[in-house]
Amino acid sequence: MKQILQSSLWAHRDVRLVLPARALSYAGDAIAMVALMLRVKEYGGTGAITVLLLAFAVPTVVMIPVAGRIVDSYDSRAVLVWATALQAVAGVALAFSHDLVSTVGLVCLLQVGQAIAGPCWGALIPRIVGEGLVGRAIGVSQALIGVAMLVGSAVGGVLVEWIGGRDALLVDAATFGVLTVVAGLVRTRRRPALGAVKESGGFSAGLRTLLGDPLLRVLVVCLWVFVVVGEAVNVVEVFLVIDEVGLNAAGYGWVLAAQGAGAILGAWGSGRLTTSAHRARAVLAGVAGIGLGMVGMGAASGVVLLVLGAVITGAGGGLLNAASSTLIVTRVAEAVRGRVVAALSGTVRACSLVALPLGGLLGGVFGPRATFLGCGVLCVVGAMGAALLVARTKDSAEEVVSH
């Protein structure tokens, strides 16, 4: 019994602190997103909404050169406490802002904290649980985050209605306060080794590590292309659901909930994977699943196929995110994990910025249904092509074990 307990993910004290606290913070983020979308909608319609979405994405890209270097060069406790405290302060200020300029500026400040905290948590979790439980930890963490975001999205509108947008944003700020306390309580720490020669470069070191691994090189490039193609449909999704299929706003919310439920299942299932080969296949299966789900949604004339496609799309996304995250942190040296996670996050965000105008262009020229169908087919074909490249990759390197 003692051996079973020791091998359990939840036997680790820091896991019991970090995973629930991060999930709570994501629930707060979902609440805040609802409140901010409703606030900004009144400031300037679709143009203001676009500016808000850019404010969430751009800081992650801008911070690529420095975020990873900060994570790998300083004590993780100090980095996490300061980054989450910055988010808490920005969240409080955001609650009391009254115009578009200050709202966008404070969202950017909030995301600067996230650009640092995200890679730091990503690099710390393997140190907390040990290399053998990394896959399970990431899968469980992303499943919990998926549940939290579903709950947060569901109650966000209700909270705004009941207590107002300002207090709903203060709820989000409070969750960052909780995360700051947890960051200070976590016993496991990442520190640069005494006397170690620091590798120059932040983004360049992270990207060089990613592309230096034969397997990751294929999968990361595939991921970049997929994000550009796959996320382009986000721009036209609401038009597909409401204008093409004929659902109302509540129906659109249920479609998003179906995607979220699928993502939870996909993330949870990824925790059973134990080798690089299995995780690589899961990444490609996730891309193909998203493509198939998009084709199903694009072909849907009624609710059943639309929701089924949404669940498949979500499951593929959950599997892709969890498997790729685990694959990357288990195949790179511990000393550069912060820079690697930051480089991946930033480049993926940059691809998302490309996907935004591309989706608008495709939707305007071909319509939402054809955009879904075309992008879905490209994702499936791309996954098949990447699978052939992976099969031909000479991958003699196993997971990197760091202590």
Name residue, tokens 């690589």: 280
Count of structural domains, the chain: 2
Residues 306 and 382 in one domain: yes
196 part of a folded domain: no
Instruction: Note whether residue 3 is domain-resident.
Output: no
Most confident of 66-70, 87-91, 122-126, 392-396: 87-91
78-99 average pLDDT score: 94
Residue ending a domain, among 190, 219, 247, is: 190
- Look up the pTM and report it: 0.76
Does residue 225 share a domain with residue 178? no
Q: Do residues 367 and 288 share a domain?
A: yes
How many Å apart are CA 311 and CA 297, to the nearest integer? 10
Indicate if 170 and 319 belong to the same structural domain.
no
Last residue of a domain, one of 163, 190, 217: 190
Query: Could you tell me if residue 86 is inside a domain?
Result: yes
Q: Where are the alpha helices (DSSP H) in 332-367?
A: 337-366
Tokens of 116: 């640092």
User: pLDDT tens-digit profile of 323-355?
Assistant: 888 888 888 877 777 788 878 888 888 888 888
Q: 310-332 as b/e, with b when 16 or more CB fall inside 10 Å?
A: bbbbbbbbbbbbbbbbbbbbbbb
Does some domain include residue 259? yes
Question: Is 208 part of any domain?
Answer: yes
Going by the DSSP 8-state scheme, the letter that residue 234 receives in this structure is G
pLDDT number for residue 346: 82
What's the pLDDT tens digit per position in 191-238?
776 544 455 556 777 788 888 888 888 888 888 988 888 888 887 887
Residue 260 lies inside a defined structural domain of this protein: yes
Query: Are 65 and 148 within one domain?
Result: yes
> Residue 399 falls within a domain, yes or no?
no
User: CA separation (Å) from 391 to 202, 291, 384?
Assistant: 31, 21, 11
User: How many alpha carbons fall within 13 Å on the CB side of residue 270?
Assistant: 37
Least confident segment among 19-33, 173-187, 226-240: 226-240
Q: Are residues 317 and 235 in the same domain?
A: yes
Domain annotation covers residue 290: yes
What confidence score (pLDDT) does residue 200 get?
A: 55
97 and 220 part of one domain: no
What's the number of CA atoms in the CB half-sphere (13 Å) around residue 3? 0
- Are 325 and 370 in a shared domain? yes
Residues 145 and 207 in one domain: no
Please report which residue ranges of 164-213 form alpha helices under DSSP H. 165-185, 203-212
32 and 173 housed in the same domain: yes
Q: Look up the domain containing 372 and give its range.
A: 202-393
Q: What is the CATH number of the domain that holds 252?
A: 1.20.1250.20
Cα 289 to Cα 397: distance, rounded to the nearest angstrom: 27
Task: Give yes or no: residues 169 and 225 share one domain.
Answer: no
- End position of a domain, from candidates 138, 161, 190: 190
| One domain, residues 280 and 307 | yes
